[in-house]
């Protein structure tokens, strides 16, 4: 469970992502800036141990059932793959990691343009019943530009729909 990608590269604010993600991430952040929107990198790769801390904190505050809708258990986080990022914004920093992020200029820009750069907004209100996770407008998962284009053609918004798998959190 303690997976460590062997091709992590450092991007904005010292966060790390897989090398295949870095160019699309930089392109997206630059394009947003060209549109007057400042995206800030909040989180990239997370180790098993760090996810264990995050999940443990959620358990302590919310209890197991709600914590599992907010955070993946250690060893199950998309962040550990190096393919997921959490972005924030300069306009309302208090909305970073908060549902109100979706209503910020940054959240609206991401919702409109994310697929152009090979990313999905992984957990949305519209697909909560499919993914099993509460909405996180800031949590993006890189799948590549080809797959996001195919998903747009098919009219699907989740990896669960593409690969016909059940959503989490279901730890079997």
The catalytic residue positions are: 136
- Contact predicate 17/41, CB 8 Å: no
Q: Are 113 and 28 in contact (CB under 8 A)?
A: yes
DSSP three-state, residue 110: helix
CA separation for the pair 81, 34 (Å, rounded): 29
Q: Quick one: which of 106, 89, 83, 69 has its CA closest to 18?
A: 83
């Amino acid at each position: 469970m303690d997976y460590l990608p062997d091709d992590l590269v450092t991007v904005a604010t010292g966060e790390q992502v897989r090398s295949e993600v870095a160019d699309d991430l930089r392109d997206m952040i630059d394009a947003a800036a060209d549109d007057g929107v400042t995206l800030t990198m909040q989180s990239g790769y997370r180790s098993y141990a760090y996810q264990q801390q995050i999940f443990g904190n959620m358990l302590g505050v919310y209890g197991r059932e709600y914590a599992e809708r907010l955070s993946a258990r250690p060893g199950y986080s998309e962040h550990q793959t190096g393919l997921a990022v959490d972005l924030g914004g300069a306009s309302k920093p208090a909305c970073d990691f908060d549902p109100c992020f979706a209503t910020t200029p940054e959240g609206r820009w991401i919702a409109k343009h994310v697929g152009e750069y090979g990313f999905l907004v992984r957990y949305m209100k519209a697909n909560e019943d499919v993914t099993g996770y509460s909405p996180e407008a800031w949590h993006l998962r890189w799948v590549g530009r080809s797959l996001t284009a195919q998903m747009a053609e098919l009219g699907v918004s989740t990896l669960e729909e593409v690969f016909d798998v059940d959503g989490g959190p279901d730890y079997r």
